[in-house]
Chains A and B, each alone.
Chain A
């Protein structure tokens, strides 16, 4: 796993973006950018250079599931690993995310250990 990879964190709550950013830094990932919903994330993704997407689900404007579907449908972005970090935990929602091609799913509130475990697992499969 490349610790220099560029990670995009998408969440409408700035507190949560900062928490994820700090946890990632703790895990050795310092190259992060932030967006506050899918609509602001899309131009950043399209600009290129993002290696890993961490997104919330419930956001105003474009939601995380819409963003995931957008990424999977885009030729250039479709292989990007996507980790969903969300308070949504209905069975049907998790199934919907899985069907849309999410690589990992973390429910809030979560621990630093959970984040590390899911990221390790995602890149274990990819590498």
Chain B
């Protein structure tokens, strides 16, 4: 591009003059015109260089003024890291809770299984009238003890099962957090595509662009509170503070 000389009227006139002078054998004039034409070519070269410099400068300015990129690099990416760490912690906690509750529940089931098996055996002997009176008195006491402990054990089992159930709430919370990180990745992708478009526009290269950017949520919500990511002043930390705020509002 920089090799192009601006072919305008002045240039064509001087070129014709050059031919005329050469035919007339006017060496001095030919030399002058050649010098003049060379200057013309240099001028257009410098103009092109100037234009290019300007464009590069503009590109950098555009890049700098795209605050989304700064935001992504300075806060969103570190935020995403925090969020994903929080997901790991939450899933680990849920797994720990679930396993602890199951481990606590197993001995209770064993008690019930063992106790009922022993009683069944004795009960069969009783119904077949193979039991002495004294032994039956003992059985009656064992039976009562078993019913009492089975009742307690099944109550505890209910608690264990409820705890296991509640522990699964991590799926909702972590799901919401991961959705946010997916949105962020899409944002990064969009910014990179924009950057490529921006630089290719100035360099006259057709950019290979991906899909158009997704529009922002109509109203993006904050979702679950992630420690270290939340705006501490504006976010309440848990049910008690929420209750306090609501009661201050007359609830």
Question: With A58-B221, A98-B246 in contact, do A114 and B239 touch (Cβ < 8 Å)?
Answer: yes
Report if B245 contacts A (CB, 8 A): yes
B169 partner residues in chain A, CB cutoff 8 A: 15-16, 19, 108-110
Report whether A11 and B238 are in contact in the complex, using a CB–CB cutoff of 8 Å: no
How many residues from B make CB contacts under 8 Å with A?
30
**Complex: A53 Cα to B191 Cα, angstroms:** 41
Report whether B172 and A16 are in contact in the complex, using a CB–CB cutoff of 8 Å: yes
Q: Mark B136-151, 1 if CB is under 8 A from A, else 0.
A: 0000000000000000
The closest CB in chain A to the CB of B170 belongs to A109
A26 partner residues in chain B, CB cutoff 8 A: 162
B residues near A (Cβ < 8 Å) are 162, 165-166, 168-173, 175-176, 219, 221-225, 231, 234-239, 241-242, 245-246, 249, 251
Report if A112 contacts B (CB, 8 A): yes
Question: With A26-B162, A112-B162 in contact, do A87 and B225 touch (Cβ < 8 Å)?
Answer: yes
Report whether B239 and A107 are in contact in the complex, using a CB–CB cutoff of 8 Å: yes
Which residue of B162, B176, B241 is within 8 Å of A58 (Cβ)?
A: B176
**Complex: A16 Cα to B165 Cα, angstroms:** 10
Which residue of B162, B170, B245 is within 8 Å of A94 (Cβ)?
A: B245
Query: In which size bucket is the chain A interface?
Result: 20 to 34
A98 partner residues in chain B, CB cutoff 8 A: 246, 249, 251
Q: Mark A96-107, 1 if CB is under 8 A from B, else 0.
A: 001000000111
Report if A4 contacts B (CB, 8 A): no
Pairs of residues from A and B, 4 with the lowest C-beta to C-beta distance, nearest first: A87-B224, A13-B172, A15-B171, A16-B172
